[in-house]
Structure 1
Amino acid sequence: MPDPISWEFAWPYLLAALAAGYLLGSIPFGLVLTRLAGLGDIRKIGSGNIGMTNVLRTGRKDLAAATLVLDSGKGAAAALLAYWWGGPDPMIVAGFGAVVGHLFPVWLGFRGGKGVATTLGTLLAVSWPVGLAACATWALVAALFRYSSLAALVSLAASPIFAWFLRGNLQLVQFAAILAILVWSRHLQNIGRLLRGQESRLGQKAAPKADAPDRKP
């Protein structure tokens, strides 16, 4: 474990961790992969989102899997690199930065994805039991109901509870709660569609869009 950072010098470390995490989280892997595959702009396909769920709607399961791995990996990488560099506090800050970067990427005019995979990857890095429990909850809800958005909402709402019972660490509970609030705030339209029974199911293909994205998951 790295030596603790003196609080006299903490803020430069934390700001650097936040900036690095944000820039790493801002990389829009779903958009990059679909363009490299010749599918065009994923923001003009299906729901218009850049994440794994919308990439899956193109019918390319390989690209969806790669997007999932890379989006979760950037959250985990940001947290782990910051931990190696400066310890637990920079790890938390960098993980938060990665999630914010995915939600509001500078490269895409601050219009990004829903942050589910990046949040789960961050939780796995910060506390693997909590992250694993959240991932298992996502997989279970997705398998039972076939709604990616519902799985995300349930798993992330449960993550602070997992943090409390599995770790008993108040800072971790607060961190998980903040990430859950961020992700929930990006799912307000999804919640409305779920209540109306209009939400798209996992793997449902979608035609290219001619108009602006409506920001489904």
Structure 2
Amino acid sequence: MITETLLILTAYLIGSIPTGVIVGHIRGFDPRAVGSGNIGASNVVRAGGPGAALMTLVGDALKGAIPVIIARAAGFPVTTIAWVGLATFVGAICSVFLFFQGGKGIAAALGIWLAISPMVILFALATFAVVVAISRITSLASIAAAIVLPPAVAILGLPHQYLLLAILMTALALFRHRENIQRLSRGEEPKFQLKRSDSAAS
């Protein structure tokens, strides 16, 4: 019991690592002072460019995957693995290192579910790709990908503990996107646009 508790607490701490802030510090900027103020890759790209955004995305996905991989490799039961996944996700959106602030948790969720069941991610990524292709709004695509998690877990017949994990993660992801949802309802959410270089524009 003590070992499982320590594992869950460690998962929360790993999830709390503010990858975007660390990448920004290395690159000489703070994502919290740019754009939406979010520390995820979609905001990091505004100040740091694609390279910094990729580093943030990979780092966030790894911090989601590593605790789950460790729990599974150590032979812990499904219930413990689900708790580890939830603790990691909570750390990503409510980091102890950022005074319980954090990102939207989408990249961390990517890593968590890649470690649990990559097939779930195929459902989510397909949904994300379709929605962003149609709307060009990344927040809407992220919300849609989060919503598809529980049905994907149910369709794949995964243990009920993972279904509960998916439901909780979706609820938390929607809560973290509440401002985006409000802007979407008002038609004010910005669309994704590739920035052209000055030379290309001229």
Per the TM superposition, whether the score is higher than 0.5 is: yes
The structure-2 alpha-carbon separation of the partners of 1:72 and 1:164, relative to structure 1 and needing over 3 Å to count, comes to same
Question: Could you tell me the TM-score, scaled by structure 1's length?
Answer: 0.84
Q: How many Å separate the matches in 1 of 2:139 and 2:45?
A: 14
- 1:75 matched to 2:40? The reply is no
The total of aligned residue pairs comes to: 194
Aligned-residue Cα RMSD (Å) equals 1.6
Q: How many Å separate the matches in 2 of 1:203 and 1:102?
A: 26
Paired letter, 1:63:
A
Residue in structure 2 matched with residue 178 of structure 1 by the alignment: 168
Residue in structure 2 matched with residue 49 of structure 1 by the alignment: 38
SS in 1 for 2:47: coil
Paired letter, 2:43:
N
Question: Could you tell me the TM-score, scaled by structure 2's length?
Answer: 0.89
Q: How many Å separate the matches in 2 of 1:157 and 1:170?
A: 17
Larger helix proportion of the pair? 2
Structure 1 residue 118: Cα displacement:
0.6
Tell whether the 8 Å contact from 2:79 to 2:161 is kept in structure 1 after alignment: no
Q: How many Å separate the matches in 1 of 2:27 and 2:34?
A: 14
Paired letter, 2:137:
Y
Structure 1 residue 168: Cα displacement:
4.7
Q: Deviations over 1:121-167 (max 9, x none)?
A: 11111111112221222222223212121111111111110111112
Unaligned runs of 5+ in 2: 196-202
Paired letter, 1:24:
I
Matches within 5 A, 1:98-117: 98-117=88-107
Which has the higher mean CA deviation after the structures are superposed, 95-104 or 140-149?
140-149
Q: How many Å separate the matches in 1 of 2:100 and 2:65?
A: 21
Tell whether the 8 Å contact from 2:27 to 2:48 is kept in structure 1 after alignment: no
The structure-2 alpha-carbon separation of the partners of 1:89 and 1:169, relative to structure 1 and needing over 3 Å to count, comes to closer
User: 190, 197, 200: which is aligned to 1:200?
Assistant: 190
SS in 1 for 2:100: coil
Matches within 5 A, 1:62-211: 62-87=51-76, 88-203=78-193
Q: Deviations over 1:74-117 (max 9, x none)?
A: 11111111111242333222211111111111111111111111
SS in 2 for 1:60: helix
Q: How many Å separate the matches in 2 of 1:58 and 1:203?
A: 15
- 1:60 matched to 2:57? The reply is no
Q: How many Å separate the matches in 1 of 2:185 and 2:137?
A: 12
Paired letter, 1:57:
R
Q: How many Å separate the matches in 2 of 1:143 and 1:186?
A: 23
Tell whether the 8 Å contact from 1:14 to 1:89 is kept in structure 2 after alignment: no
Residue in structure 1 matched with residue 200 of structure 2 by the alignment: none
Tell whether the 8 Å contact from 1:59 to 1:203 is kept in structure 2 after alignment: no
- 1:30 matched to 2:20? The reply is yes
Tell whether the 8 Å contact from 1:43 to 1:50 is kept in structure 2 after alignment: yes
SS in 2 for 1:50: coil
User: 4, 17, 28: which is aligned to 2:7?
Assistant: 17
